[in-house]
Structure 1
Amino acid sequence: MGWQITGGEVLTQDGLAEGGLTLDHGLIGTGPASRHLDATGFWVLPGIVDLHGDAFERHLAPRRGMVADLGANLDFVEGELAACGITTAWLAQFWSWEGGMRGPEFATRLARALQAADLRLDMRMQLRLETHMTHDLGPVCDLIRETGIDYLVFNDHLPHKALETGRKPPRLNGSALKAGRSPEAHHEMMLALKTRDPEVDSFVRAILRALPDLRFGSHDDDADLRDIWAGRGVRISEFPVSHAAASKAQDQAVIMGAPNVLRGGSHNRGSVSASDLVAEGLVDALASDYHYPAMIGAVFALIERGICDLAQAWRLVSAGPARMMGLEDRGRLEMGLRGDVVILCPERRRVMGCFAAGRPVFLSGELAERLN
């Protein structure tokens, strides 16, 4: 059953143009279809591609220690993503010594739940691997191969300065509680992990050799770290903290957080403004980070600040991230591409409809009332 969307303004490479499109057999086409949707007054846009979002956690564990049925609750994650116009999403999940929802056991459960889930959106996992989990090469590779994970980002959350100087790590009690450990045991574990510093480079290189088909990224790079990661062959820089780091990744790929754009700066004092980097052409993609609605909010913020027009801003949340992941079948509204479409009310900045691979996932308000 195909869908014909008419009456709206369709986003092309050059901007909005009056017109329509047909969704048939999961693809974008033209011509008649069995179902009609009047998008008059709305924008018809490519589906959003989100490379890093962790707002799913509130659905899977609404209270600390209350981990819900992951398979069933992924339906609620899908609903929120669709209501935010996100049709392809990487759920950013840790494999970390931090434990709890960041531990290997939870990562394994989530990866398997995603693999088994019957979802309309394209929902995948970004595995956030802590660099000092050097003894986990086998289990990490096994999980990736078993569940089809296609994107791995290296993280290092050890409080190195505190551990090197003998000071109490910041937020020790809170992080220990989340991990289900005593503060003393948590601190001792950090000290033990710190002794693995010399193992990290060989561990990272072993991961890259073992999984040559994956996309690899690094997280929170400063300029020196970006040099190190580039030297290892890691081409994606996720949320670089300085202008110098983003500049060094110009021939690679830079992802910045949409909440950073929306706020007008990072919540981490001293980190670079994503809007400034976008203005200089140093950003390839925006990601939702911790707030799915920020993707659309960031687009409007960039337009209102005169940094981008709509076509340029929307590319940062659609075609740009899709291209980074080698997904040339989405991110644009062109004949023969995957039918991922968002229908947006520009006045309310609200998603009225969302289609994934040509199938409706979310219809709301006046748009749903127009269905015939």
Structure 2
Amino acid sequence: MIELSFENARVMRPGGWSDAPLSVAKGVICDAPEGRRVDLGGYDILPGIVDAHGDGFERHMAPRRGALRERDAGMVACAAELAANGITTAMLAQFWSWEGGMRGPEFAEEVFASVAAVAPTVPVDLRLQLRLETHFLDAFAQAEAAVERWGIGYVVFNDHLPHARLAEGRKPPRLNGQALKSGRSPETHLALMQALHARSAEVPQALDELCARLATRGCRMGSHDDRSAEGRAAWRARGVRVSEFPETVEAAQAAREGGDTVVLGAPNVVRGASHAGNVAASELIGLGLCDALASDYHYPAPARAAWRCVELGLLDEAQAWRMVSEGPARLLGLEDRGRLEAGLRADLVVMDRATRRIVLTMAGGRIAWLSGEIAERLL
């Protein structure tokens, strides 16, 4: 395994920027210089990005709806994109939903199988998150079996049913487009939604029982798009301690006061607002209501969002980068990464100080991405 000592770079250590050399050997960060010395003057070294939630892999797995599924080749391409954007640990968030298509169980099984095949062959640490629709009651047992079969350690609960419209007997917006994605007729898709909505009274107990079983397996659990303090409290009572992308200040504040972890979308920070009209992530960060930023659907976003937080005056550089490294590592229970400390995994990114472009990514002490003039210094 590679042994290198990087010199003359700024290194973002837990206490802030340091000019001391950083050494890597046997896949971990070392105290003493090891191996060949490499001059990285003009560059910054930061902890590798830990992405707690991202579904950008979909465009690699199914680049065109109904035409081609790339499966393993797509996952290899996804790993390369992750590395190019400084992501050294990626939680691939895959739906298990009544919505069908790329959100249905059949596609989910393809994703899980691809990760199992590709993960051992690439430097980036690929992990799985199962996103389960709360009203997809008849598929709970199948989803639970998939969690066990594929060793999935993180389950997040979503509810994408348009309950208000269904309760009023009105057609949901974008019905035809959603039906097309699912492979159903609009009439069949609407009938399915109505049937699921009609079983809403059964959902709380089913979730109580499922969460209890997942907890015995040691699964980490999260809720998606929390809107109220009451909703967050209900999830907390089930042992669901991560609040992903809360939509209101009330929900995020309730998560913080209850000791839960809050994950926000990095694209929201980069854009400056929620695309769905919810509370802006930057507002929640300014209120101290964020523990981690995730790629959501765009892998370049975490690094860009961290620097955007600095530009907005919300956080200093060390605080901002912790939102994409140490923060998500902690929420995932990964204590061996997220910081540049001796004995931890050699997960790091090298960034051009002038342009903030990522030119080198190392994951577990292996080169995952290398580009530009820095390649000449290493080679």
TM-score range, shorter chain: over 0.9
Give the superposition deviation at 1:345. 1.3
CA distance in 1, matches of 2:203, 2:315: 40
Partner of 1:64: 65
CA distance in 1, matches of 2:139, 2:234: 22
Give the superposition deviation at 1:35. 4.1
CA distance in 2, matches of 1:260, 1:138: 34
Matches within 5 A, 1:68-107: 68-107=69-108
Give the superposition deviation at 1:255. 0.4
Partner of 2:227: 222
Matches within 5 A, 1:333-348: 333-348=340-355
CA distance in 1, matches of 2:66, 2:35: 48
Partner of 2:301: 294
CA distance in 1, matches of 2:334, 2:214: 19
CA distance in 2, matches of 1:66, 1:42: 43
220, 228, 246: which one aligns with 1:240: 246
Give the superposition deviation at 1:38. 2.6
Partner of 1:349: 356
CA deviation string 1:226-253 (max 9, x = no partner): 1221222211100000001000001111
Give the superposition deviation at 1:282. 1.0
**Identical pairs, percent:** 51
313, 329, 339: which one aligns with 2:336: 329
Deviates more, 1:24-33 or 1:253-262: 24-33
CA distance in 1, matches of 2:294, 2:359: 21
Equivalent residues of 2:60, 2:70 under 8 A apart = no
CA distance in 1, matches of 2:133, 2:68: 22
Partner of 2:191: 188
Matches within 5 A, 1:120-269: 120-212=123-215, 213-223=218-228, 224-250=230-256, 251-269=259-277
CA distance in 2, matches of 1:73, 1:302: 32
Structure 1 residue 7 and structure 2 residue 41: aligned?
no
CA distance in 1, matches of 2:207, 2:117: 29
Equivalent residues of 1:37, 1:367 under 8 A apart = no
CA distance in 1, matches of 2:160, 2:339: 36
CA deviation string 1:278-337 (max 9, x = no partner): 112110000011111111111111111111111000010000110111111000000000
Partner of 1:19: 20
CA distance in 2, matches of 1:301, 1:215: 29
CA deviation string 1:13-53 (max 9, x = no partner): 23211122121111110334344433211110000000111
Give the superposition deviation at 1:214. 0.6
CA distance in 1, matches of 2:5, 2:289: 37
The one-letter code matched in structure 2 to 1:324 is L
Gaps of 5+ in 1: none
Q: TM-score, normalised by structure 2?
A: 0.95
Segments ≥4 residues shifted beyond 2 Å: 30-38, 66-69
Partner of 2:313: 306
CA deviation string 1:145-202 (max 9, x = no partner): 1111111100000111111001111100000000001101100111111122112112
Matches within 5 A, 1:35-74: 35-74=36-75
Aligned length: 371
Equivalent residues of 2:95, 2:108 under 8 A apart = yes
CA distance in 2, matches of 1:67, 1:315: 38
Aligned residues: CA RMSD: 1.2
Gaps of 5+ in 2: none
- Aligned to 1:81, the other structure's residue is in SS state helix
Give the superposition deviation at 1:66. 2.7
Q: TM-score, normalised by structure 1?
A: 0.97
- Aligned to 2:378, the other structure's residue is in SS state coil
CA distance in 2, matches of 1:185, 1:108: 24
Deviates more, 1:133-142 or 1:352-361: 133-142
CA distance in 2, matches of 1:202, 1:119: 41
The one-letter code matched in structure 2 to 1:15 is G
CA distance in 1, matches of 2:129, 2:281: 21
Equivalent residues of 1:101, 1:107 under 8 A apart = yes
- Aligned to 1:126, the other structure's residue is in SS state strand
CA deviation string 1:73-123 (max 9, x = no partner): 111101110011000001111000000110001111111211121221111
Give the superposition deviation at 1:135. 1.4
Give the superposition deviation at 1:272. 1.0
